[in-house]
Amino acid sequence: MRERDGKFAGDDPFEIARAWLAEAGATEVNDPNAMALATVDASGLPNVRMVLLKDITDDAFWFYTNFGSAKSREIDATGKAAIVLHWKSLRRQIRVRGEVTREEGPEADAYYASRSLKSRLGAWASRQSEPLSSRAHLMAEVAKVTAAKGTNPERPPFWGGFKIAPVEIEFWADGAFRLHDRFVWRRESASDSWNVQRLNP
């Protein structure tokens, strides 16, 4: 029997990740694409928050946000980030570390256009991560934006995507008596071949 069979089988970690995400979509009660995004600030202090994974392509994990947010500023400063997807229903998780680039072109335009109108207007109204005097003030900003932008607002220039190109992807599955299964895929850069190793639990 191969070491990597069943849920771990395959020669492409992105395909394995997409398969796990699809399985989670059938079992998780809310947001199977929720992930913890970790960055570091200028002093090296770690920062982590939950965001939504929007796509797994053949070379990257994608999410979208306001470019003025704390996470965006921290990513811009380092060009690196880490994520964790954890599914309690499947007792599995995927950890990813890699280099990050912005996406401000057609892919960002298309995803923005696919969002609900209220979400698109909210992206214009929110100065993400900046202090807010009250919720009433935020709703007043939404009303102003709605009046100014109408029913088909363009994507804000300060809002778009980030692509995490992994140099490390770890697949973890729960095992009896804490004897978990872990396989890590590593490479020096996005253009290099993967090396796969089983890790101790």
Is 178 annotated in the active site? yes
Asked if residues 54 and 117 have their Cβ atoms less than 8 Å apart, the reply is: no
User: CA nearest 160: which of 55, 78, 68?
Assistant: 68
Q: Is 30 helix (H, G, I), strand (E, B) or coil?
A: coil
**Cβ-contact 73, 38 below 8 angstroms:** no
- In sequence order, what are the beta bridge partners of 99? 80, 165
Active-site position among 178, 182, 187, 198: 178
3-state secondary structure of 186: strand
The residues annotated with a catalytic role in the active site are 178
